[in-house]
Structure 1
Amino acid sequence: MRSVAIVGLGWFGLPLARDLRNLGWEVKGSKRTQEGVEEMRLWRLEAYQLQLDPEINADPDDLIALLSVDSLVVNIPPSDYFFDAESYTQGIENLVNEALLCGVKHIIFISSTSVLPMQTGQFDEETQPPFSPLYEIEQMLFTLQDIDVDIIRFGGLIGNDRHPVHSMSGRTYQQGNSPVNLVHLEDCSRAVQSLLETQGGHRLYHLVAPQHPTRVDYYQAMAEKFAEKAPHFECSEEDLQRIIVADKICRELDFVYQYPNPYTM
């Protein structure tokens, strides 16, 4: 049976784990607290406590059990763990080194399109990002030898129980004419499944829905849909026209977005 460990069973990691288990994978995962571990076990998931400080804080036997898998998905956003970039990058590097010692053959790192330039333009996987902790980790991973490495950069995440319009209600924002770069949780899970099933070499993909309505049009429509007070946007002809191009995964892995239109997310 194919096996995978997901470090970070959060809003994305837990649904991913359940999807993979339903597909026949042996799935393990980690949470930062023992309470979180117990919650995961209620979902009948094999879970272990692990925290990066940036040293690995975990029971040695638990760490070996967690990382005794074919593939590892690293799903740890910087803001969830560390206050400084150096600690974050060191923590991820420590985790990767332990995975290599345990014989992991495939690493998938969940990154973000926030690494790309915040300026007008269309940005694909060939774009050179400015320096950031996430980009530093990406570069570190691509130096690894004799192991398959995939990096996937998600756009803004939307799911059935998570939509940014709820926290935007009634507030005022700039850049109303800028396009959105969003992706649905289910497409994210399916994309990671595709990477796990077609591993090979070092690969980088973006994952963003191909349609990009303006922020003002989109969030005002979503406010009406969810019965929220509409956010106010200041619009200008100078607003950034920043579009993340994310069709490489479609061309190379025959991936099809189930939610190409943000209005249906």
Structure 2
Amino acid sequence: MMRTVSILGVGWLGMPLAKKLISNGYKVKGSVTSSSKMELLQHAAIWPYRLVLTEDELELDDPGFFDADVLIVSIPPRRRPDVELVFPAQIRQLIKHLETVSLTKVIFISSTSVYPESGRIARETDVLLPDKPSGRALLEVENELRLNRNFETTMVRFGGLIGADRNPARFLSRKTEAIDGSKPVNLIHQDDCISILMEIIRQNVWGETFNACCPEHPSRKEFYLKASELSGLQAPRFTDQAEPFKIVDSSKLIKCLDYQFKYPSPMSYLGAGF
């Protein structure tokens, strides 16, 4: 059985994922970018490592980080004008290092931003032309990881992340202009993110690409009005002017992993009192 998991990027998703893995008997190694954060990992029983990825090098104090059965790459592209150049260059440094170690199983945390707002259902078999620079950067990275024969990579394209300390009402509460209320949302709860990643490891599912998003897609107006009501925040203003949209389909994941969502709809998360 795979018993050692390294998580590159122990943040909002990586920390609770690490704790869940540990509670299920896994040894977890985690990376952060500064030595000051390593104590937080130690307190959570995570083996701490300092790892910094730049366009030019992978800086790692202890190569033992890559002595693992599975590597989970959980570092989103940063918002910067040159993200299409910088993020793929960073991951190329990681790939170059992976080609020198024995680790052969990788999970890459991607995003549904690789899909354009095409006004239709988005599936893993689509030919992709992302709208945003971050989506184009992620797609390039996905392709480079997928084509590398030194290891097998499973891509998980998460929708918008909700749960834990992320109040969904804050997503749009600061918007001053009216937004399209009819646009469907593509969201996923942190608990489902963690459970899906656990199942991929448990079932040894490699070389796949999965959309991971609530199967139900309420409208922005329905979801954010309810979220604002529950949190006491100002609701955004809505308009009937239709904006480009997409509906992300997670049926492949549900079928391949025999997975049942804990929150099949973002509304069920709100119904639980978030």
TM-score by length of 1: 0.93
Aligned-partner residue type, residue 119 of structure 2: T
The count of residues paired between Structure 1 and Structure 2 equals 261
- In the alignment, which of 165, 170, 183 is matched to residue 169 of structure 2? 165
Letter of the 1:65 partner, please give it.
Answer: G
- The 1:100–1:23 alpha-carbon spacing in structure 2 relative to 1, beyond 3 Å, is farther
In the other structure, the counterpart of 1:94 is 93
1:230 to 232, 235, 239: 235
Corresponding position of 1:23: 24
Residue 126 of structure 1 corresponds to 125
CA contact (8 A) 1:175 1:240 kept: no
- Residue 259 in 1 paired to residue 258 in 2? no
Query: Shift of the alpha carbon at 1:87?
Result: 1.9
Checking the alignment, whether the CA contact within 8 Å between 1:81 and 1:88 is kept in structure 2 is no
Matched residue SS, 2:204: coil
Task: Quote the RMSD (CA, aligned, Å).
Answer: 1.8
Instruction: Say yes or no: does 1:135 pair with 2:139.
Output: yes
32-41 or 72-81, larger mean C-alpha shift: 72-81
Which residue in 1 is equivalent to 2:217? 212
Could you tell me how far apart the structure 2 residues matched to 1:72 and 1:80 are?
24
Partner of 1:192: 197
Aligned residue for 1:114? 113
Aligned CA distance change for structure 1 residues 81 and 50 (closer, same or farther; 3 Å): farther
Query: Structure 2 unaligned runs (5+)?
Result: 131-135, 270-274
User: Which residue does 1:66 correspond to in 2?
Assistant: 65
Q: 1:43 to 1:82 in 2, by over 3 A?
A: farther
Q: Which amino acid aligns with 1:189?
A: I
Moved more, 72-81 or 23-32: 72-81
Structure 2 residue aligned with 1:155:
159
Q: 1:71 to 1:82 in 2, by over 3 A?
A: farther
Offset at residue 114 of structure 1 (A) = 0.4
Q: Deviations over 1:106-156 (max 9, x none)?
A: 000000000101220001111111161110111111112153210000000
Give runs of aligned pairs for residues 34-73 of structure 1, distance below 5 A.
34-54=35-55, 55-59=57-61, 62=62, 64-73=63-72
The Cα shift of 1:20 comes to 0.6
Answer yes or no: is the 8 Å Cα contact 2:114–2:129 preserved in 1.
Answer: yes
CA distance in 1, matches of 2:205, 2:121: 27
Amino acid aligned to 2:127: Q
CA contact (8 A) 1:170 1:230 kept: no
- State the 1:97 CA deviation: 2.5
Show structure 1 runs of 5+ residues with no match.
none
In structure 2, relative to structure 1, the CA distance for the partners of 1:177 and 1:75 (3 Å cut) is same
Find the aligned partners of 1:139 and 1:130 in 2 and give their Cα distance: 13
Do the aligned partners of 1:106 and 1:199 also contact (CA within 8 Å) in 2?
no
- Bigger mean CA offset, 191-200 vs 65-74: 191-200
Shift in Å at residue 241 of structure 1? 4.1
For residue 128 of structure 1, what is the amino acid of its counterpart? Answer: V
> After alignment, is 82-91 or 7-16 more displaced?
82-91
Check 1:66–1:173 CA distance in 2 against 1; reply closer, same or farther (3 A cut). Answer: farther
User: Identity rate of aligned residues, in percent?
Assistant: 31
State the one-letter code of the partner of 1:57: E
Distance (whole Å) between structure 1 residues aligned to residue 87 and residue 220 of structure 2: 31
Q: Secondary structure at the match of 1:27?
A: strand
Q: Residues of 2 paired with 1:211 and 1:102: CA distance?
A: 41
Judge conservation of contact 2:213–2:250 (CA < 8 Å) in 1. Answer: yes
Name which of structure 1's ranges 105-114 and 88-97 shifts more when overlaid on structure 2: 88-97
Looking at structure 1, the residues matched to 173 and 144 of structure 2 have their Cα atoms a distance apart, in angstroms, of 40
